[in-house]
Chain A
Amino acid sequence: MSEFEPTIVAFFCNWCTYTAADLAGTSRLSYPHNIRIIRIMCTGMVDPQYIIKAFLEGADGVLVSGCRPGDCHYINGNYKARRRIKLLREILPQFGFDQQRLRLTWIGASDGVHLSEIMRAFTAQIKALGPSQTKLKMVI
């Protein structure tokens, strides 16, 4: 059997992290190809149901990344995301998912290298955790 290749859904904010992802692309920094990037305007826009939905649909990990504290284009959206995701991590086990499968990071526009490292590290972490076992089906 071939090695487990996790599928990761990443919500990147339009301003900082998406810029870093583009920078990583144009700088030819390789990063794992099992990451599906969904561009959103701000991490403050990430509704917890999006994350749960991604897990229920089979994502092995979810990465949310926005501007560093104080950088948010919309003043404080990233702080709101931080509170929300902290709470969500608390209740994730109730849905049958390991907390470690959800990660929130801050990645500035110039941090292409950092982004690439984080994606590698997160992929490695999810690989170590193994496939997400929950086959719960829930309609959202």
Chain B
Amino acid sequence: MNEKIGKALVVGAGISGIRSALDLAESGYRVILVDRAPHIGGILSRLDYQFPTDRCGMCKMLPMINRDSSSQYCLRKGLFHENIEILLSTEPVSVQGEAGHYRVALRKKPSLVSEELCIGCGECIKACPVEVPDSFNAGFTTRKAIYLPAPHRIPNTFVVDTDSCTMCGACEPVCPTGAIRLSERERRQFKILVVDDELIVRDSLKELLEDEGYSVDMAESGAAALERLSGQKYNLMLLDIKMPGMDGVTVLRKAKEEFPDLTVLMMTAYATVETAVEAMKIGAIDYLLKPFETDLLIPKIAGICNEFEIARARFVDVEAIVLCCGTGFFNPADGKDTCGYHTLPNVITGIEFERIVSGTGPCGGQLIRPSDGKRIEKIAWFQCVGSRDLQNNADFCSNICCMYAIKEALLAKSGTNGEAETVIFYMDMRTFGKSFQRYRDKAQGEYGVRFENARVHSVVPEDGTGNLLVRYVDTCGKIHEECFGMIVLATGQRPAQGTGELAGITGISLNAWGFAETAPFSLTETSRPGIVIGGSFSGQKDISESVIQASAAAACASRAILASGKGPIPESPPETVSPELLREPPRVLAVVCTCGKSILAYTDENKLSARLKTDPEVNHVIFSARICTADGWDELAGQIRKFKPNRLLIGACLPYMYGRKLKKAEKETGLNASLTEITDIRTPVIRFSGENPGENKAAVIIESHLRMGLVKLKQAEPSTAPSLPVTRNCLIIGGGIAGMTAALAIADSGIKVDLIEQSEHLGGNLKWITETLEGFSTLTLLNDTIQRIEKNPEIEVHKSSSVLASFGEAGHFMTTVENSKKKIRTIEHGAIILATGGKETEITAYGHGTSEAIVTQKEFEQRITARSLDPSTLSSVVMIQCAGTREEPKNYCSRICCAVSIKQALFLKKQNPEIAVYVLYRDMMTYGFTETFYTQARKAGVIFIRYTKDSKPEVMVSGPVPKVKCFEPTLGKDVEITADLVILAAGVVPELPAGLASAFGASCDTDGFFLEAESKWRPVDSIKEGVFACGLAHSPRTIAESVATAEAAAQRAIRILSRNRLPSGKVTAIVRHSLCSLCGQCIEACPYGARSLDTENEKILVNPAMCQGCGTCASVCPNKASVIEGFSTRQILEVIDAALCI
């Protein structure tokens, strides 16, 4: 192994862990991805739908460049990348070392089923007598103690849940492949020898320890003990001190001479300190007092066993650690107000509802109550269960529950053709993300989801129907009663199980509620350098934010790797195909996996072989008992060397599993991996389990599947993935905090950066902000960043400059830039990051501009900094939230204004506690841990008055000071407030000119923000590869969040810029120019903009790095000039023929 190659450990293989791991792997680093669960995907493996599209799209996270390096199938099935080693059921148990050099011990929980041997036949399930609630289905269904951890998982091997398994052994003999090995249970391998002259002591200890799962042997005397020790290796000896004949100390001395590694625990009834100390001097690690107290004995032995397991753990040396360990959920049954959860069957949690609507859930996706099978007609969602709740020590908001409640309500609507009645009971609907407000409005306006701003008082069951009677109080204090068929509790976040232990091991600090704490202005960096955080580990996030943060974490991790002196894997030279291979006629080796002997029950080996050989190009047909095992594969490699075929047909199961193996075989045997076809012959056979296929039908089906693979293989062209050269330089437009952060992240990877700033100074909005809500100084951040930019030799700053024009594609763009002296320069670059920022909305509503006493948040901030406003002279201040946003045409939440208002309110109250501060708001968007400042503001006496879009406050400026008139819902009448100062939360507008975005092939959304390729899965990418955005141009965000988008965009760009060439995938479109009529239909059809017309040479060009091989161009081409490698028209027509020929 090359010592120069950087390596990172990613803990947690949920969506953030996958994103971090893929980003690092795509940048050329080695990654070890571990998860304690036996499957990847985290919580998302249990969700079928995600807001705001109400769809899935996880697969869009897979690499789009160098596609063949990773799996190209649904991420629910699993993941493969040539630079990622995935270790499941594995956890870190210790971390040693310092930044850049961490040694991590990883402990794998034995699955007790060999992945190599298990064929997923499910015989063991029939034999297992233990039935437990299935946690994958939130306990709605049951499973056995041996089970399939996730329904889609590939390979679909079983695992044993050691917590519920009784070790009865019923599954072991029924396994046809001998894959189950219960004896591998961790503690079974920990062997204890109990030495005591008293039978009763020996027997009771043996029974007790065996119940705990250890292997226990006994010896009745010192001599017998020594004899046993010489016969077998023990991990622990429990040794009595006072024994007839040889006493304990003598036994210990003799044993230690011969077996110095043996751990010995002394036992004595007459404890004298001297004997114990003497024994411990010789090497006993501790002593136990008789009679034993089970509570003391068991943990002591468990501790010794744990150390033994750590010693057996795998140690890995990594330069950086990314923690993507996710969050847990509040259990309402543990709270003070349970809302009937766990006692009333139709009160469920959000995640349980997700399982009900899932196709793999207990109801197969039907909207019925699992408790009684009745259709759900009326559902209520209760928000903030276990969040924003001081009584449950949850002075925080859980960020995502408002949105998933709306999504679930919409799913309920669509699952019942709009018939289900849906009500959401909420405090504030926190729709603070991009497009979230419109999603809410659509739910309310178009689909009729009812939003009730009310507190629920109680839930009582209705007699005999299973329905639930909900009593609630509305904002005016009126009590209502309503009956629902189901109640869904939007349960809040809690730190994931084991967060404390992990923090202890890694040495990172936690916040007041036990979530991982990050450094100021960063969502990723922890108190320990080189250990970074991705995703929800530092507080729950939606998918898009998790993915952004995970990419940012990857950027920080790659920076740590480079700082330690390691680097990426050197690029391999482009593949070539030998000219001989192109000329050779196909010589096919067909391999049929008989899966033990199970396939032979359906087809006859000789007949099948003879029939396949009727095709003259099939030279050899061989049968392998189990091709998926290492032995089977080695055997196949031998056959390839022997027969020297130039094409390989494999009939087996799960074709997806073979990617890595084929690459290995290509290296070993020289057989071109692109000339291999794997056909699934087992799944069609399994499908027969339900019905009788009829005589010979199975044989026919197996043969026809093999033939379909064969014809496709014969037509396959030996090809290599094309690649494109890369200009290793990045252009960043915008010198605000986002642009500067991105520039630094890229420059630290040794890549040149041109940073364009239109004004004379760097800094953007940070120039007028002084402090954040949390009290961090933004001035320090700004000065530090500018200094680092100026010192960095890789960064060239172009101040007072702007972009005139640009053309090009991922890997190579040409952009002309003009400076204030009208000097024009052309910059060549491989990627572009748009960090053009945003600004406060210009506003004329609420009398702004008519009075000195009516200001925006920015103006207030500036006046305070300039000391032109003295808080001690004020007696009443009114703040109006959403002044200009959250209604058409700017129907989005600006996300930061509520926090700014809280900051300003707290500032005013601190400066002058006598000021009456009123905040007029629609929904307070103090999401996440900002909630605690909202609580502080209320405690400080700030008065919050809710208004609605239909009854907005009015500002009157007739007198010397403005007056604000609004409706006070608690009082139920209009109030008039005399205000010395009115502060308007005007909101954020982007400064991304549509012309600039389109010059690079990106586009803007309806509000003028950058339009992402996919809001959840590719949140900082544009649909056109190589173009990224961050900061306020992307969406309204706080400084720390802008920094995260900047790091994420930088990492996405580094993926491209860290290489000399961009390889595509083998399944890529090509153009047969002789057939092409230049009609241009393919250019229109290509969803990735990968096609262009070369007018000079009159050719349609395909950018292979941008082409994803979807084949749309091939089906629109009237002349069949557009061809997809591997799926050519000829191949598919032949496959259709083969499918129907028998």
A residues sitting closer than 8 Å to B (CB atoms) are: 5, 7, 9, 14-16, 18-33, 36, 38, 40-42, 44-50, 53-54, 57-59, 68-71, 73-77, 80, 84, 108-114, 140
Contact = CB atoms under 8 A, between A and B. Distances in A.
Max chain B C-beta neighbours (<10 A), residue from A5, A47, A70 = A47
Interface stretch (B713-721, B918-926, B1125-1133): B1125-1133
B1140 A25 contact: no
A119 to B, nearest CB: 10
Max chain A C-beta neighbours (<10 A), residue from B74, B1087, B1109 = B74
B178 interface: no
B690 A110 contact: no
Contacts of B1109: 41
Contact of B360 (A16, A18, A40, A110): A110
Nearest to B154: A22
B56 A71 contact: yes
Contact of B1136 (A9, A14, A32, A44): A9
B1110 A44 contact: yes
A45 B689 contact: no
B60 A26 contact: no
Given A23-B152, A45-B1110, A74-B1112, A57 B48 contact: no
Interface string B345-387: 0000000000000111000110000000000000000000000
Interface stretch (B422-430, B504-512, B680-688, B867-875): B680-688
A80 B1085 contact: yes
A109 B1087 contact: no
A75 B1087 contact: yes
A42 B654 CA distance: 19
25 contacts: A7-B1140, A15-B73, A19-B77, A19-B152, A20-B359, A25-B687, A26-B686, A29-B690, A30-B690, A32-B691, A33-B691, A38-B1132, A38-B1135, A38-B1139, A40-B1132, A41-B1124, A45-B1124, A50-B1132, A71-B57, A73-B59, A74-B1087, A74-B1108, A76-B1087, A110-B76, A113-B365
A82 B154 CA distance: 30
A110 B358 contact: yes
Contact of A68 (B55, B704, B1110): B55
Nearest to B363: A113
A140 B1120 CA distance: 12
Contact of B76 (A19, A28, A47, A69): A19
Interface string B51-71: 001111101100000000000
B693 A19 contact: no
A48 B1132 CA distance: 12
B489 interface: no
Contacts of B691: 30, 32-33
A38 B1110 contact: no
B690 A28 contact: yes
Given A23-B360, A29-B690, A71 B704 contact: no
B1067 interface: yes
A74 B1110 contact: yes
B1129 A47 contact: yes
Chain A facing B: main interface SS: loop
A29 B1124 CA distance: 33
Contact of A22 (B683, B704, B1112): B683
Contacts of A5: 694
A5 to B, nearest CB: 8
B1133 A26 contact: no
B645 interface: no
Given A28-B690, A110-B359, A114-B365, 9 more contacts: A15-B73, A25-B687, A30-B688, A33-B684, A38-B1135, A54-B1139, A71-B55, A109-B48, A110-B358
B1112 A77 contact: yes
Nearest to B62: A73
B496 interface: no
A26 B636 CA distance: 26
- 10 closest Cβ contacts across the A-B interface? A30-B690, A45-B1111, A110-B359, A74-B1110, A25-B683, A36-B1139, A19-B74, A111-B359, A70-B55, A75-B1087
Nearest to B1129: A47
A24 B680 CA distance: 14
A42 B1114 CA distance: 12
B1136 A57 contact: yes
A56 to B, nearest CB: 9
Contacts of A113: 359, 364-365
Contacts of B1139: 9, 36, 38, 54
Contacts of A36: 704-705, 708, 1139-1140
A50 B704 CA distance: 18
A38 B359 contact: no
A29 B1140 CA distance: 24
A24 B688 CA distance: 12
Contacts of B693: 33
Contact of A47 (B364, B1110, B1114): B1114
Interface of B: 48, 53-57, 59-60, 72-74, 76-77, 120, 122, 148, 151-152, 154, 156, 358-360, 364-365, 654, 683-684, 686-691, 693-694, 697-698, 701, 704-705, 708, 1023, 1067, 1085, 1087-1088, 1108-1112, 1114-1115, 1124, 1127, 1129, 1132-1133, 1135-1137, 1139-1140
A53 to B, nearest CB: 5
Contacts of B1132: 38, 40, 47, 50
A22 B1111 contact: no
A83 B995 CA distance: 32
Contact of A57 (B365, B1085, B1140): B1140
Contacts of A19: 73-74, 76-77, 152
Nearest to B686: A25
Given A59-B1140, A109-B74, A44 B1111 contact: yes
Contacts of A57: 1136-1137, 1140
A49 B1129 contact: yes
A114 B364 CA distance: 8
Contacts of B1110: 41-42, 44-45, 73-74, 77
Nearest to B120: A26
Contacts of A41: 1067, 1109-1111, 1124, 1127
Contacts of A9: 1136, 1139-1140
A44 B1117 CA distance: 12
Nearest to A109: B74
Given A19-B76, A26-B120, A110 B152 contact: yes
Contacts of B57: 70-71, 73
A71 B156 CA distance: 24
A104 B929 CA distance: 47
Contacts of A77: 1087, 1110-1112
Contacts of B704: 36
Nearest to B364: A113
A73 B1136 CA distance: 24
B60 A73 contact: yes
B1112 A15 contact: no
A108 B60 CA distance: 15
Nearest to A115: B359
Max chain B C-beta neighbours (<10 A), residue from A28, A33, A53 = A33
B215 to A, nearest CB: 35
B1126 to A, nearest CB: 9
A14 B73 contact: yes
B689 A15 contact: no
A140 B1112 contact: no
A40 B1114 CA distance: 13
Contacts of A42: 1110-1112
Nearest to A20: B359
Nearest to A31: B687
Contacts of A20: 359
A26 B150 CA distance: 11
Nearest to B156: A26
A49 B333 CA distance: 59
Contacts of B697: 33
B1115 A47 contact: yes
A26 B151 contact: yes
